[in-house]
Amino acid sequence: MRQPHRMAVLVAAALTVSGCYGPFTLTRKVYNWNGEVSDNKWVVEAVFLVCAWLPVYGISVAADAVIFNSVEFWTGNNPLNDGKGADAGSKRIVRGDTESVLSWATTPAGEQFVLQQFRQGQPASSVRIEREGNETVAMNADGQRLFTAQTLSDGRLIIRDAEGDQVSSYSGDEVRKFLASVPR
């Protein structure tokens, strides 16, 4: 076998076996941020549902699986292990002409999570999730409310649209059943 063919076989083999089960650092940081957004378990759940609906968790799992875990497998270092923990951070995911930037920080107003998307280098959309009083609020780049989530004292979770109209409601039992079904 000639040298170029050996190299092609080696590269092909490396690409097919480069997947690995890794630490899923970004996903854990998002999960930790979500768990610390409030002392109220219902608010934490509301934020989780918003992140699952937006697909913040899906994007973080995909980024970990495809990019960060592979980088750690081949180099021994995960670029997300920057010593900052879940208190502040920003990660960039690029695919073709689409870019997503995931950011989380503790601000004077409290915990904040931002997902920004760009197409061909131009801003395409942005969602910011933060607490406002007893609600978790998702806002666009202009600061306009997209929807809110609120946990009531009886455990019910209420989702409202931008106008404040209720679009969904989950009983405390439904929320608990959902939480029990989610792999941890």
How confident is the model over 156-166, as a mean pLDDT? 89
**What pLDDT, on a 0 to 100 scale, did the predictor assign at position 106?**
67
Residue 130 in any domain: the answer is: yes
Name the residue among 158, 179, 156, 182 with its Cα closest to residue 168. 158
Evaluate whether residue 14 is within a structural domain: no
pLDDT at 76: 65
Tell me the CA distances in angstroms from 5 to 1, 9, 15, one per residue in order. Answer: 6, 6, 15
Is 54's pLDDT higher than 80? yes
Residue 72: partners with Cβ closer than 8 Å, 6 or more residues away: 22, 23, 25, 78
Residue 7: inside a domain, yes or no? no
pLDDT at 163: 92
| Residue 23 or residue 97, greater confidence | 97
In a domain? residue 80: yes
Question: What integer is the mean pLDDT of 13-27?
Answer: 57
Pairing of strands 157-161, 166-170: antiparallel
CB 172 within 8 A of CB 154: yes
In a domain, 57, yes or no: yes
Separation CA 56–CA 49 (nearest Å): 10
Residue 86 covered by a domain: yes
pLDDT band (50, 70, 90) for residue 120: confident
Confidence of residue 183 (pLDDT cuts 50, 70, 90): low
In the chain, the number of structural domains is: 1
pLDDT (mean) for 99-103: 79
Query: Is it the case that residue 12 has pLDDT exceeding 60?
Result: no
Domain enclosing residue 130, as ranges? 20-181
Q: Please state, in angstroms and rounded to a whole number, the distance separating the CA atoms of residues 101 and 110.
A: 20
Question: Quick check: is 84 in a domain?
Answer: yes
Using DSSP, state whether 168 is helix, strand or coil.
strand
Answer whether residue 1 shows pLDDT above 50: no
Confidence at residue 132, expressed as pLDDT on a 0 to 100 scale: 82
pLDDT digits 0-9 by tens, 55-85: 888 888 888 877 887 777 676 667 776 544 3
Is residue 11 domain-resident? no
What is the b/e burial string over 89-108, where b = at least 16 CB atoms within 10 angstroms of the residue's CB?
A: bebebeeeeebbebebbeee
